[in-house]
């Protein structure tokens, strides 16, 4: 049955029956997903448009969100298709503030409406974060109705009935449908994002839900970048004769996407081509090399994660966004562990001992350090030259 909740225009309903009441913002309606928290203090537009957040509701631990507004340049989806291939909902401590930044061309609330992202403000995000930390990421429904009318039992049942991300392949819907070239580089003051002239190197990026800044970082090495769909056959990739292959980030269960992706990755590894995996690409490369992945209780979502590069001893502050992890105990002897999280000791990087193949769990293109992890793109470029 529906009920009118006085003064409430938005709710977050969890599968255990918990109802968090607040003020709706963004798009009206309801969205179903896994509820996670993100500890980043900046970059909310990039976060909400990261395809790795597909089918998730994102709670921001930083209380003041919206102050720099939004713009077309900071969208991370290559194909900007709204919440269909990115976060479906957002939870804030305070109502999103008005924009005050020279790069802004709009406000967050209106932007969320246009993208069909359901928002909820006025929530104790500290308590919600503690709940997720202690009990794991719950399934939930976020709903916004200006009239304040909600069918709470139906929303609870919807959250309970959802099977979650385990076993769910989301890379195909997040991926491009056809191959395309990319020549935009990293931000350079005062021009912004410049066009980069490619050298004789070429890279094929398999798009499992790739972020624009990954493509920009690759282009800035001077390589010609070609992006191909997630289900592209290894033979078709090798027919392009690339100098290297990148396995991109993306959403969903790596084992599920691996059903069709891992056999192709194995062929690419056997070809001897340099390979660089990022996030989901890292996880599926590990599976292809004989390891396994497991679902994390809370996942890693934020821009303040310390990761140690075991090959150099360097500690870098990185951006993380993943709910699955590579089980280090399953790594075969042919694989070297190269990076570890200093928060919980989980695996954050691997490399083959006898071939130019490596991957990392974090997002080197985001680099909240701010450039702590960009050396990984240079490392890949040197592999291609060698």
Active-site residues: which are they?
Answer: 279, 363, 365
Give the distance from CA 301 to its chain's centroid. Answer: 9
Given the structure tokens 């890292």, which residue do they identify? 282
* Pairwise CA distance, residues 365 & 347, whole Å: 19
Q: At what angle do helices 212-219 and 375-385 cross, to 10 degrees?
A: 50
The distance of Cα 237 from the centroid of its chain, to the nearest Å, equals: 24
Alpha-carbon gap, residue 207 to 175, rounded angstroms: 5
Q: Is 15 helix (H, G, I), strand (E, B) or coil?
A: coil
Percentages helix, strand, coil for the chain (3-state, rounded to 5) are: 25, 30, 40
* Residues in contact with 289: Cβ distance below 8 Å, sequence separation at least 6, in sequence order: 269, 331, 332, 334, 335, 350, 352, 357
Of the candidates 136, 196, 191, 150, the one whose C-alpha atom is nearest the C-alpha of residue 2 is 150
The residue whose two tokens read 């269960």 is 253
Token pair listed for 325: 């992890």
177 near 229, Cβ under 8 Å? Answer: yes
Strand partners, 319: 363
* Distance (Å, whole) CA 114 – CA 75: 13
Tell me how far apart the alpha carbons of residues 83 and 53 are, in angstroms, rounded to a whole number. Answer: 9
> Please, what is the Cα angle at 29 between 2 and 19, to 5 degrees?
55
Contact between residue 123 and residue 20 where contact means Cβ atoms under 8 Å apart = yes
The residue behind tokens 């089918």 is 55
Residue environment code for 247-258, b if the CB has 16+ CB neighbours within 10 A, otherwise e: bbbbbbbbbbbb
Residues forming a β-bridge with 140:
14, 33
Say how many C-beta atoms besides its own lie within 10 A of residue 137's C-beta: 24
What residues pair up with 347 in beta bridges, in sequence order?
340
């Amino acid at each position: 049955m529906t009920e009118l909740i006085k003064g409430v225009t938005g709710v977050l309903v969890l599968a255990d029956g918990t109802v968090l009441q607040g003020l709706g913002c963004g798009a009206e309606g309801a969205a179903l997903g896994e509820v996670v928290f993100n500890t980043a203090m900046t970059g909310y537009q990039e976060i909400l448009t990261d395809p790795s957040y597909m089918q998730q509701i994102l709670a921001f631990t930083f209380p003041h969100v919206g102050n720099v507004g939004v713009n077309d340049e900071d969208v991370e989806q290559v194909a900007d298709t709204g919440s269909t291939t990115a976060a479906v909902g957002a939870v804030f401590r305070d109502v999103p503030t008005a924009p005050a930044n020279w790069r802004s061309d709009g406000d967050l609330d209106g932007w969320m409406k246009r993208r069909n992202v359901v928002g909820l403000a006025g929530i104790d995000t500290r308590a919600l974060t503690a709940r997720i930390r202690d009990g794991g990421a719950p399934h939930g429904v976020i709903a916004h109705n200006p009239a304040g009318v909600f069918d709470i039992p139906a929303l609870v049942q919807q959250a309970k009935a959802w099977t979650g991300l385990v076993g769910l392949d989301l890379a195909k819907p997040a991926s491009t449908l056809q191959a395309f070239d990319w020549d935009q580089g990293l931000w350079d003051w005062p021009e912004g994002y410049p066009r980069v002239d490619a050298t004789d190197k070429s890279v094929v990026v398999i798009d499992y839900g790739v972020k624009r800044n990954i493509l920009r970082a690759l282009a800035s090495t001077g390589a010609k970048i070609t992006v191909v769909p997630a289900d592209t056959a290894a033979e078709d990739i090798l027919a392009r004769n690339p100098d290297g292959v990148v396995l991109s980030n993306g959403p969903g269960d790596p084992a599920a996407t691996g059903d069709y992706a891992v056999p192709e990755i194995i062929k690419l590894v056997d070809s001897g081509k340099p390979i660089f995996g990022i996030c989901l690409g890292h996880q599926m490369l590990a599976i292809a090399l004989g390891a396994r992945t497991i679902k994390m209780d809370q996942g890693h979502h934020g821009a303040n994660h310390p990761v140690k590069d075991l090959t150099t001893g360097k500690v870098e502050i990185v951006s993380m966004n993943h709910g699955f992890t590579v089980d280090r105990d399953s790594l075969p002897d042919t694989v070297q562990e190269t990076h570890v999280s200093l928060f919980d000791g989980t695996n954050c990087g691997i490399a083959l001992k006898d071939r130019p193949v490596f991957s990392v769990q974090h997002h080197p293109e985001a680099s909240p350090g701010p450039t702590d992890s960009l050396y990984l793109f240079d490392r890949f470029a040197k592999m291609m030259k060698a």
